[in-house]
Structure 1
Amino acid sequence: MTITINESLRAYIDPLTPDEYAALERSLLAEGCRDALVVWGDVLVDGHNRYGICQKHGIAFNTIQNTTFRSMDDVHLWMIDNHLGRRSVSDFQRGVLALRKKEIVSARLAQQQAEKTAAELAGASDTGTETGRQSETEPPWTREAVARAARVSSATLGQIEKIQKTAAPELVSAVKSGVVSINAAAAVASLPSEKQVAAVAGGKKELREAARQVRESRMASKPRPLVEAAPIDATPEEMEIYRLNQLLAAVTEERDQLKKKVQHLTIALAEVRAGRSGSAE
């Protein structure tokens, strides 16, 4: 059959790394193409890398039609769900994919609600609409639901959103390749674009240092609680309140210092884990 390559679909999912592509090529040469390529009509949906390698080496392959697709959004949702279930997908990639799914689902629900409202205003509410029933059975995607789909915490999902919105392309590439952790990249992403690029150019140590400086500047910018001096003619009760306020200020300062240490330790642990996973691959 004739297979059509849709470039937007090919680029919808992050490409394989050179090592992953080489491993796939070795596997296909040794074992053949065991999994069928998924198509929608004549458009290739899943298996772009396998298709290219099979064409290159003359390896036989099979195709399977997915008859459930009704629109390109259906195709995108299927691709997202398919990749969210794969072990090789990083936390950052899963977060990006889950956020894409949220956009599609939220847009569909909004459209369904608009169609339902329009039908009710037109006096057609007594007939009922399919879109209205669908919107009632599919709950909106909350941040917690998106985080669960991506298998990351809500905090990590927020960091991924920040990276998507404010990170320079060079910093995004560094996160995808595992050079910098999501946590550190989110901190660096708050810097001007030129400083982000400079930090990436400096390598892992420069990125860690930039992230550390951002966090410390945030902690330093937080106003410390002020304790007004006790009046000269303070009563015993007023002196006790003054003493307690001093104690509270000291405990708050100690808490902030501990939070700073925990942040540094968390980043260091994430970097060590990232280094181990990278060496294992």
Structure 2
Amino acid sequence: MQIKINETLRSYIEPLTQAEYTALEQSILQEGCRDALVLWQDVLVDGHNRYQICQQHGIPFKVTENTSFRNLEDVKLWMIDNNLGRRSISDYQRGVLALRKKEIMAARAAELVAQAAAEDAAIAPPEGDAGKRVPAMPLTSREDIARAARLSSATIGQIEKIQKTATPELVEAVRSGTISINAAATVASLPEAEQLAAVAGGKKELQKAAKEVRELRAAARPAKEPKEGREAAATSGEGGYGRPATEVDELRAENAVLREKNAALREEITALQKRLSELMGAS
């Protein structure tokens, strides 16, 4: 079989870093290609890097065809779910994939709504809305997306902002781990030229830019009455524990994000336990 490469599918998932590709290559050279490549008819769906390495070194490989795919959107959804199930991808990649899944599912739901409306119009009187069938809209809320990605809703919101307003250079800095999602979302609020300058300056300059944005936001907020026991910290410009107020705010924000992520994981565990109990009861 002549395997075909669809460039849209090849570039749909974040590419491996050079270090990851080298590690995969060494593994295949030593142990062979253990996992079968997944095909949609004769189009390669999963295993582009393994295929390239095997072709380059003349290493044999196995293939398996997934016959459940009806169209390109089915393939993309499978690729998204397959990669969301992997532990090796970053939080940013998880968020991007979950948002892509939302777009596909929302488009499908909209098509179903239009189809149901057309069928209802053909068989029901035009007046009134009684009996209309409106399919549920999947992944409509930020919480649904966060649950699919096993992230907090706050992190999903930050990733959405990065996708909308960050320059490609800033996005690459997040992907490479040079800057955190939280800090990148803050820097993404700056004009394009300032984003580029921050990225060009490296990690320290990016952190400095994020800090300056947070300080400006803090200064723009209405002043609050200091709570009892914090007057000394407020007058000294500290946020408690001997740290600057902006650093404390950042730590609190990160703590909130981690708490939300933990809550999302707990919900997922509860759902899995319930499903397991149902399966065991049915067997």
Q: TM-score range by the shorter chain?
A: 0.7 to 0.9
Preserved contact between residue 184 and residue 267 of structure 1 (Cα < 8 Å): no
Q: Does 1:264 align with 2:250?
A: yes
Give 5+ residue unaligned stretches, structure 2. 126-131, 240-244, 256-283
Q: Give the Å deviation of 1:124.
A: 6.9
Q: 5+ residue gaps in structure 1?
A: 126-131, 226-248, 270-281
Change (3 A) 1:76 1:203: same
Tell me the TM-score normalized by structure 2.
Answer: 0.78
Q: After superposition, give the CA deviation of every residue in 1:69-99 in whole Å (9 maximum; x if it has no partner).
A: 0011100000000000111100000000000
| Corresponding residue number in structure 2 for 1:279 | none
Superposed CA RMSD: 2.5
Match of 1:118 in 2: 118
**Matches for 1:1-281 after TM superposition, within 5 Å:** 1-123=1-123, 135-136=135-136, 139-224=138-223, 249-251=225-227, 258=239, 260-265=246-251
Determine if contact 1:187/1:215 at 8 Å carries over to the other structure.
yes
Higher relative contact order (CA 8 A, sep 6+): 2
* Alpha-carbon distance between aligned partners in 2 of 1:88 and 1:25, rounded to the nearest angstrom: 17
Structure 1 CA distance for aligned equivalents of residues 23 and 39 of structure 2: 24
CA–CA distance in structure 1, aligned partners of residues 139 and 159 of structure 2: 20
Q: CA separation in 2, counterparts of 1:35 and 1:190?
A: 43
Tell me which residue corresponds to 1:277.
none
Contact 1:40 1:69 in 2 (8 A): yes
Is this contact kept in 2: 1:105–1:141, CA < 8 A? no
TM-score, with structure 1 as normaliser: 0.79
User: Is the contact between residue 73 and residue 104 of structure 1 (CA under 8 Å) also seen in structure 2?
Assistant: yes
Deviation at 1:177, TM superposition (A): 0.2
Q: Is the 8 A contact 2:25 2:53 kept in 1?
A: yes
How far, CA to CA, are the matches of 2:71 and 2:141 in structure 1? Answer: 24
Partners in 2 of 1:27 and 1:267 — Cα distance?
40
Residue 144 of structure 1, CA deviation: 0.7
* SS of structure 1 residue aligned to 2:135: helix
- Whether the 8 Å CA contact 1:171–1:185 is kept in 2: the answer is yes
After the TM superposition, which segments of 4 or more aligned residues of structure 1 sit over 6 Å from their partners? 252-257
Number of equivalences: 239
Q: Which amino acid aligns with 2:192?
A: S
Amino acid at match of 2:248: V
Amino acid aligned to 2:196? V
User: How many Å separate the matches in 1 of 2:69 and 2:92?
Assistant: 27
Percent of aligned pairs with the same amino acid: 62
